[in-house]
Amino acid sequence: KNEVEQSPQNLTAQEGEFITINCSYSVGISALHWLQQHPGGGIVSLFMLSSGKKKHGRLIATINIQEKHSSLHITASHPRDSAVYICAVGLQTSGSRLTFGEGTQLTVNP
């Protein structure tokens, strides 16, 4: 079992829909990242969370430390949101490196 699990693996939505991507982890963490990767592109950090909720534009990220779960929400989705979204955690057991989920491929159709 992976230490970081994401769901769904693939997600197709119509423009304007509300989108949720989930991330669960199995051990204690110091913090959690949500990352975005466009095809053939670099990696952009969207959020870093250690508790609570953060919002940036149409993106919202939440984390529940007790339940070991985080969600990334996209409101009013747009085709330019199409990308791979990756959850990454700093595990308390793994020193100072990141452990990644497998990613969620999001496609938003016009």
Partner 1 sequence: NAGVMQNPRHLVRRRGQEARLRCSPMKGHSHVYWYRQLPEEGLKFMVYLQKENIIDESGMPKERFSAEFPKEGPSILRIQQVVRGDSAAYFCASSPRGTATEAFFGQGTRLTVV
Kindly list the residues in this chain that would bind partner 1 in the complex (CB under 8 A).
30-33, 35, 40-45, 48, 86, 88-90, 94-103
Residue among 95 and 110 whose Cβ is closer to partner 1? 95
Closest CA to 94 of 34, 51, 31: 31
- Least Å from the CB of residue 8 to partner 1: 15
In the complex with partner 1, the residue whose CB is nearer, 13 or 86, is 86
* Peptide bond just before 8 cis, omega within 30 deg: yes
Nearest approach in angstroms of CB 96 to partner 1 is 5
> Measured from the CB of residue 11, what is the shortest distance to partner 1 in angstroms?
16
Q: What is the DSSP string of 35-97?
A: EEE-TT--EEEEEEESSEEEEETTEEEEEETTTTEEEEEESS--GGG-EEEEEEEEEGGGTT-
Q: Give 53 or 75: the residue with its C-beta nearer to partner 1.
A: 53
Structure tokens, 16: 């304007």
CB 25, min distance to partner 1, A? 13
